[in-house]
Structure 1
Amino acid sequence: MAAKSDGAAAAAVCVEDANPPRCLSGPGSPAAGPRRRPGSSPAAAAGEPHSAADCCWLLCALLVFFSDGATDLWLAADYYLRGGYWWFGLTLVFVAVPSAVVQVLSFRWFVYDYSDFSRGDGAVAGWSAGGSRRCCIVCMWVFQTALHVLQLGQVWRYVHALYLGAQSRWGAGGAGRHLHWRLMFECADITMLRLLEAFLKSAPQLVLQLSIIIHQNTVLPLQGLSTSASLVSLAWMVASYQKVLRDSREDKLSMSYKAVVAQMLWHFFTIGARTVAFALFASVFQLYFGIFIVSHWCVMTFWIIQGETDFCMSKWEEIIYNMVVGIIYIFCWFNVKEGPSRFRMTIYYTLTLVENVALTVAWYAYRGPHTSDFYALLVVCMVACSFALGTFFMLLYYCLLHPDGPVLGSHWGGCVDDGEGVGGGVAGVIDACITPSQGSQTPGGSEPAITSPPRTLPRTRETGDPVPGEREKESCLPIFQVRPSPSSSPALLHRTPSSRVQEGPVIRIDLPRKRYPAWDAHFIDRRLRKAILVLETTSPISPRIQYRSSMMGSKEVLEYETTV
């Protein structure tokens, strides 16, 4: 692998196992294995089965997708039949253009992922030469082309994810284990595509339909269905994106479905208040509304760029990504930078509150004569209450349901104890004691760096005996010392076989790991994906991924020990 540059990183990964290390290089050369999800037992490191709740979540996501698109098309047809050709055209444009953009991107990903099948270079096992292979290739390409032309590429991805989830849950033998990576990659693709479509299609559609409702001073049933579906789609995709992103990283704790629901309600009410304020202002000041949106997008994009995000594999892709996130920032908060976000969130929501108040007051002062004072006050109260409810659910999420613990309280350093796979007592406890700030600084993707032991346990000498007077010195500040990896140091607490993950190939990627909330490089760089998927199907034991540490050498992984 090469470091990040203006172009995509060159693909070259090293695979280490019990045999001498070997390298797989080239764009089609693969690597990887099922990852250990946060909080799971060591036995689950080979790939956690897809739960029934995960399947229900995918089914609900598919339902949200269909309801959003179907209600918009139904409403456009209703406008046409009523003679509202101008509204029909705008509604149809906000459905067709974003959908086409997303389908082109989805098909581009498909072409890149399956180009090896067409070349027949032998990189993919399981395909035999001959007419049957060529027939399967032609059928696959025709099928995928037809799906994307019919704007159903995302539907196929959802169905494929459901199939992979069912196979990983009920697959016999090692079949389920080997589907973990495919499922994670498919979920990541769906989430990225749907998030892009939501803010290119659902958000403008929501503002448009609310503006029409305010302009006509009446609400049609189909308008209510369309706006509700668009708002639910926006809130759903922001929360779903955060959940899938956390699930993809083993250095982060997974988000529970209670937390996902809280995030959905948070974004549902804040985006609702924001879009109503937009629609109120746009119904009176169409030109100034366009100027306001463009100005807000430019300011937000500049703010994101100066934060030096690190999401993509090239500079130009990063700029395009920042421009897309600038569109998201028009409607809601979206974390794109590592570290505590309280200060940045406070700035964003303070600015949003000021803008909402200014837009609503401007509409109230210059509204048309057909709008009564009672109706105007009711709308203003609705905007205020919706924003207040969104703020309440945001505080609820961060105070009670955040995966890393209460963020607004004291620094959290609790231990995760699932009661599974913990043998060796102290070693199991230390493995589970990772603070949120430390979790994102693990040097490798295979195991978290071991940090300071719990304060309830006395420090030991290399012989394992307690140090006299240690409890009296626990109030002293710790001093960090560097020592060798556990395999070469007797001072590390011994792990029992039941607490050790089954050894297998280790894929070393010669790149520093991207910091949360960025996706890992093997989710963004599709050449790494190919390497991972090929090794997944050929390795008898689930391989692990390890990135080069940005602070340490790439040949030796060091760990820290707290001493007094």
Structure 2
Amino acid sequence: MIGPVVRHIEYLYHGCKSRSATLSEKDRKNHYKQMLHEDTDAGMMRMLEAFLESAPQLVLQMYIILTETPDDGLLMSIIRPVSMVGSWIGVSWSLVSYHKALRASHNEEEIGLSLCGTIFYYIWRACEVGPRVVVLALFASQFQYYMLIAVAVHWATMSIWVALQKPEFYRKTIDKIVFDVVIGYILIFCFQNVQSGHTRYRAMLYYFVIYAENLVMLVAWQYITTQKSAWYYFAALGIIPGAIVIHIVVQLLYYKCCHPRSMDIVCCINPVENYNCYQSVCHEIKSNEESKADTGVNNGQTFEV
């Protein structure tokens, strides 16, 4: 919990230094770059915190609602759904916040996300995370421990998949393993890119697996459940497939209409942002002169903005 606090303090420190009149322009620009990297690290930590805390709690709370007899008072029957919606919004927004910080840290001269782009990106992520949480809770309500087995298999598979992409963020083997496992956990809920270059095939493969899992779990729940008269029965059957359609449409609209470089994107060629999921701030910040001579390789990775 202390990590985000430290990052924010360092962010403020470098932000103040970047505006100091006593420093040279070169030093101010270096502090500004460091400030952007600190913001990216803080965003990464907020995102991890959201997925480690809020996402599992969302699944658990929805599971409790589906399996327990509703005997809460009026106040709790209002507070619990509001709390769940708030957690869903928080998890989705953590992805947006990190995405915006990542864009800025890779190229401070790059045009940032517009209001339209932010809205579309948020809807895209919300329609990715929300239905996943719902379908996991529905499946768990009927299959209990089998859901944990399914999630564990998915987690292990995604961790291996990340390792096979050979992200070069860390040199020590143990650090690489921890990174692969953590990103594999996030991939239980949503897509994160960990490799440079075009990612359309990796994204297509991931979303094919996720959509297939969601639909299989939904059909299995629909077949087994005895609560076919419950209010959420038909809602779930409509929300999950509908969210898949909205997710695809909004994602395409984002890249075609609202992406900062939408004019350079050919339709159906680059469906996923070519940013790595994480770049450690523990590297030397180069001056402008060094950056101009740079080949575009950072920490062993190329970043296409």
TM-score, scaled relative to structure 2:
0.79
Amino acid at match of 2:282: I
Change in 2 beyond 3 A, CA 1:318/1:261: farther
Counterpart among 220, 225, 239 of residue 96 in structure 2:
239
CA RMSD after TM alignment? 3.2
**2-structure distance, mates of 1:311, 1:242:** 18
Letter in 2 for 1:352: I
C-alpha deviation, 1:377, in angstroms: 1.3
Shift of 1:174: 5.3
- Which residue in 2 is equivalent to 1:392? 249
Taking the aligned partners of 1:379 and 1:520, their CA distance within structure 2 comes to 38
Indicate if the aligned counterparts of 1:240 and 1:260 stay in contact, CA closer than 8 A: no
Q: Closer, same or farther in 2 for the Cα pair 1:267/1:520, shift >3 Å?
A: closer
Structure 2 distance, partners of 1:193, 1:334, is 14
Within a 5 Å distance, the mapping from 1:422-461 to structure 2 comes to none
1:358-415: CA deviations, max 9, x gaps? 111111122234x516641122112222232222221111222223325342889xxx
Q: Answer whether contact 2:139 2:221 (CA < 8 A) is retained.
A: yes
Alignment of 1:213-228 (within 5 A): 213-216=65-68, 218=70, 220-228=77-85
| Paired-residue identity, % | 28
Q: Compared with structure 1, are the counterparts of its residues 229 and 305 closer, same or farther at alpha carbon in structure 2 (3 Å cutoff)?
A: same
Q: Is the 8 A contact 2:200 2:269 kept in 1?
A: no
CA contact (8 A) 1:309 1:336 kept: yes
Counterpart mapping for 1:98-113 below 5 A: 102-103=1-2, 106=3
1:318 CA displacement:
2.1
Look up the equivalent residue of 1:517 and give its one-letter code.
Answer: N
Partner of residue 163, structure 2: 305
TM-score of the pair, normalised by structure 1: 0.45
Which runs of 5 or more structure 2 residues have no equivalent in the other structure? 71-75, 298-305
- Distance of 2:294 and 2:33 partners within structure 1: 21
Measure the CA separation in 2 of the matches of 1:386 and 1:240: 22
Is 1:347 the equivalent of 2:205? yes
**Contact 1:249–1:520 (8 Å) recurs in 2:** no
Amino acid in structure 1 at the alignment position of 2:43: T
Match of 2:44 among 189, 192, 198: 192
Query: CA, structure 1 residues 411+376, in 2 after alignment: closer, same or farther (shift >3 Å)?
Result: closer
Q: Any unmatched runs of 5+ in structure 1?
A: 1-101, 107-152, 413-514, 533-541, 552-564
Larger Rg: 1
Q: Alignment length, in residue pairs?
A: 282
CA contact (8 A) 2:59 2:133 kept: yes
Distance 1:379 1:225, change over 3 A: same
CA offsets, 1:172-196, max 9 Å, x none? Answer: 6356936414422331221121121
8 A Cα contact 1:188 1:244, kept in partner: yes
CA pair 550-196 structure 1, distance change in 2 beyond 3 A: closer
Q: Once the 2 structures are TM-superposed, how far is the Cα of residue 268 of structure 1 from its aligned partner?
A: 0.5
Quote how far apart the aligned CAs of 1:348 are: 1.3
Asked if structure 1 preserves the Cα contact closer than 8 Å seen for 2:194 and 2:278, the reply is: no
1:338 is aligned to 196
The change in CA–CA distance for 1:520 and 1:354 in structure 2 (over 3 A counts) is closer
Distance 1:411 1:365 in 2: 38
Query: Equivalent residue for 1:87?
Result: none
More strand by share: 1
The one-letter amino acid of 2:174's match is W
CA distance in 1, matches of 2:181, 2:50: 15
Matched with 2:73 is: none
